[in-house]
Amino acid sequence: MRLSMTAKRELWGAVFIFPAMVLMIAFNVYPMLNAFYLSLTQYDLLQPPEFNGLTNYLSLLTDERFLLVFGNTFGYAFGRGIPLVILSLAIAVVLGRPFRFYQVYRTLYFTPVVLSGVVVSIVWALLYTPTGLINQIIAPFNGGQQIYWLTQAETAPFAIMIMAIWQSVGFYMIVFIAGLQGIPSDFYEAAAIDGATPWQRFRHITVPLLRPTTVFVTVICLINGFQAFTYQFVMTNGGPSDATNVLSLLIYQTGLQYLKMGLAAAMSIVLFAAILILTLIQLRVGRSEDVSYV
C-alpha cells in the first residue's frame, strides 16, 4: 500500500523524533517515576526499598527542620527573584537603546553569568570575610565594626541573595532587552508627539507590551531560585543553624549523607509540586493575549 505525501511526512517526522523521545523517557520520565516510587518506600541504599505508603510525606508535615528549610527556600526564591526582575528591567531600559560604549556595558553586566557558580561562591566568600573587601568598604559607615556576613543567621541569607543577584542580573537583562527591541518605536514616537513624559511612556507602553517577557523572566527566575544549591553548599553548607539551607541542599544531605533515600525522594516530589503549582499560578495571573502591532 502506497502512503500519501502527508503520511510519509508524518512517518519521517516520527522517525526523526524517536531518538529524542527515547532519551527523554530514559533521562526524564523514568527518573521522575522512580523518584515517586522511592518516595513511598524506606530505602537506605544498603537494603532493597521497603514500601511504607505515605509515611515519608506525613513525617515531613511534622519535621521542624524540613518546614524551616521549606520557608527558607521560599524566602530565597522571592528575596532573590523580585529584586532581580526589577533590577534587570531597569538596566535593560537604560542599555536597551544605543549610546556610546553601550555594548561594552552590556558585556560587563553579562560577564558574571558565564562564570562558574562554584568560582563565584568562593570569591564572594573571601569578600565576605571579616577582613574582606566588603567590610573594608562599609567600615567608614558603621564605625569600623566587622560584620560576620556568612556566620550570622541574620546576615547570611541576605549575603547569598546579593551575590546571586549580582551574578544573574546580566542574563535577565539580555532577555528584557530582546523584549524591548520587539516593541515598535512608532508607539514611543506617537506618545512623544502627544506630550507623554518618559515615565508615562514607560508605564503605558513599555510595561503592558513587555508583559509576556516579564512573565517569562519571573517564572524562570523563581524556578532557578527554588532549585538553588551551589551557593548555599559552597559558602555556608546550609548554616549557620540552617539559616541558609534550601530544599535542594537538604535533599542532598538527607539522601547522600544520612542515607534516607525514601525521605529525600519525598522531599524532591514536594519541591517539584511547589515549583509546578507556583509556575501555573504565575502563568494564570500573567496570562495575556498575543500582542498585535497592526
Mean of the per-residue pLDDT values of the chain: 91
Tell me if 293 is assigned to some domain. no
pLDDT digits (tens, 9 = 90+) for 107-143: 999 999 999 999 999 999 999 999 899 999 998 888 8
Tell me if 17 is assigned to some domain. no
Tell me if 23 is assigned to some domain. no
Domains contained in the chain, number: 1
Query: Residue 199 belongs to what domain range?
Result: 63-285
Say which residue the cell 532493597 belongs to: 48
Tell me if 56 is assigned to some domain. no
Residue 127: which CATH number? 1.10.3720.10
Number of other residues whose CB lies within 10 A of the CB of residue 141:
8
pLDDT digits (tens, 9 = 90+) for 149-199: 999 999 999 999 999 999 999 999 999 999 999 888 888 889 988 888 989
- Which helix H or strand E contains 26, and what residues bound it? none
Residue 220's pLDDT is what?
Answer: 93
Instruction: Supply the angle between the helices 156-181 and 64-95 in degrees, to the nearest 10.
Output: 40
Tell me if 77 is assigned to some domain. yes
Tell me if 205 is assigned to some domain. yes
Tell me if 165 is assigned to some domain. yes
pLDDT digits (tens, 9 = 90+) for 235-265: 999 999 999 999 999 999 999 999 999 999 9
Tell me if 53 is assigned to some domain. no
Give CA angle at 265 (37, 260), nearest 5°: 110
